[in-house]
Structure 1
């Protein structure tokens, strides 16, 4: 299925827009395709915010990492190249239960209650077209990190927070929050680089240890 996007920012505060979306969601199970149809008119950033919600939960919604991570990447690619979004079947048919949807909105309300205490429209960075393209590239990289199957603490949570900051900053026209999002993104990439380095060193040491007995 193909989608065209309205890339204009919402005039509502992000948490109020989430309220409107929650009220518009029918009770019961919701597929990713249905969710996109409901969010289509609200722009790219609010969709990304909804999609990263499962990664902000201490115990993630089962099976959500891969389809949501892929969808975030596809959404940002559609912005980057100004193309229609084509959903793979495995993504469009992924379904969230009513319980999962309630949990998703609950964590978003909690996250937004913190962010909107410090966020307000300021500066002009969020209106810069080059930076908007850069944001899409950064979010794509973070989304790839998001669904890597790593059995290590915070490998879902840290990139999700970075994506949340970048997306909300664009919705709220907040240049300071955008800068904070860049800082969080650099920290995230550094964290994953250190995890990768330590992992490689452990593997090398294990190999050397085994070879010492041969």
Structure 2
């Protein structure tokens, strides 16, 4: 992940890479009628941490139910964030690799990836690249992803709590894929409401969160 002279290496994944991943995963789902996390890792092999993070966080960044997967996906995201921070290759423990992904969830993930691929090819491009390549900031990005992944993995019976953590993860990962510093900043801004939500939850409890959600529904409903 580093160049000579100490600069973090730009991601080798560029426009069209997510579409290639979609095609590979679609073939696996069609043939095997399901996926494991190891299948996902093989489909993403050689495409870097940011691709792994994008694919695994994306299902939680939209209003769909992903039962039973927030914990294992969150653990994978946590590992990937730390390995970005310390410039190490992707790795997973064996017990996570065999975790099954239900076919319905796999197809929903593919559809979401198709939409993201089309959008990314239109709006993402290298700019403010120093924010993505600087070794110090690269470590910060990895640690933030790891922290947000812990929040995503929490088994909370609160609507959209996973989404609040997943959206900044996806934005940061896509920004790292395309060296797009502007979207990296957007990812950090998206982490602010996530931080506020979980601070209210941990300090004041679920009742306070329910009051906030009711107020927001009244405000925007």
Q: TM-score, normalised by structure 1?
A: 0.81
Give the aligned partner of residue 12 of structure 1. 14
Partner of 2:201: 195
Q: Is the 8 A contact 1:67 1:90 kept in 2?
A: no
Please give the residue correspondences for 1:109-148 in structure 2 after superposition, counting only pairs within 5 Å.
109-114=114-119, 117-123=122-128, 124-148=130-154
Alignment correspondent of 1:48? 53
User: Gapped runs of 5+ residues in structure 1?
Assistant: 1-6, 203-214
Separation in 1, partners of 2:13, 2:109: 23
User: Deviation of residue 100 (structure 1)?
Assistant: 2.0
Structure 1 SS opposite 2:161: coil
Residue pairs, 1:42-191, within 5 angstroms: 42-83=47-88, 86-114=91-119, 117-123=122-128, 124-191=130-197
Counterpart-to-counterpart distance in 2, 1:56 and 1:132: 22
Superposed CA offset, 1:80-120 (max 9, x none): 23445553343111112333221102123334555554432
How many angstroms apart in 1 are the aligned matches of 2:87 and 2:123?
32
Change beyond 3 A, Cα 1:81–1:198? same
Please name the residue that 2:6 is paired with. none
TM-score scaled by structure 2? Answer: 0.78
Report the CA distance shift for 1:177/1:85 in structure 2 as closer, same or farther (over 3 A). Answer: closer
- Give the total of aligned pairs: 194
Unaligned runs of at least 5 residues, structure 2: 1-8, 209-221
How far off is 1:160 after superposition? 0.5
Conserved 8 A contact 1:45-1:167: yes
SS in structure 2 of the partner of residue 41 of structure 1: coil
Q: Distance in 1 between matches of 2:112 and 2:104?
A: 13
Aligned residues: CA RMSD: 2.2
String of CA shifts for 1:30-55, please: whole Å, max 9, x gaps.
21112212212111101100101221
Q: Secondary structure at the match of 2:46?
A: helix
Which range moved further: 83-92 or 70-79?
Answer: 83-92
Quick check: 174-183 or 23-32, which moved more? Answer: 23-32
